[in-house]
Amino acid sequence: MARYSVGDKVRVRAVFPPTPPTHVRTPHYIRGCVGTIERICGEFGNPEELAFGRRYGPRSTLYRVRFRQVDVWPDYDGPAADHVEIEIYEFWLEPVEGENAA
């Protein structure tokens, strides 16, 4: 069951993984950024478990999240309308306080 809906504002968790070996599928540059759910892609195996050959763990909802480039890169030199969209698993996202309907 997807926790977020299309249009919800979310923040990418800014945590950094513990000591290796580990595997992380959320790009470094997007951690801590606030974006909007663009679509729900479905349920997929968690790559951070699959990376250790564990195929049968719980699946996670995968979203595509839309970010304004000027929010991602403080020195972005293109128009404010430019965006980047990234696939992010639900456990990497947290709600933005006061932005979403209860």
Among 1, 16, 58, 81, binds other proteins (CB under 8 A): 81
Q: If binding is defined by CB under 8 A, does position 79 make contact with other proteins?
A: yes
User: Interacting stretch for other proteins, rule CB under 8 A, among 7-15, 85-93, 94-102?
Assistant: 85-93
Closest among 91, 36, 44 to 64, alpha carbons compared: 36
Burial class (CB in 10 A: 0-12, 13-18, 19+), 37: buried
Binding site for other proteins (CB under 8 A): 20-21, 23, 25-30, 41-42, 44, 47-48, 50-57, 62, 64, 69, 72-73, 76-79, 81-89
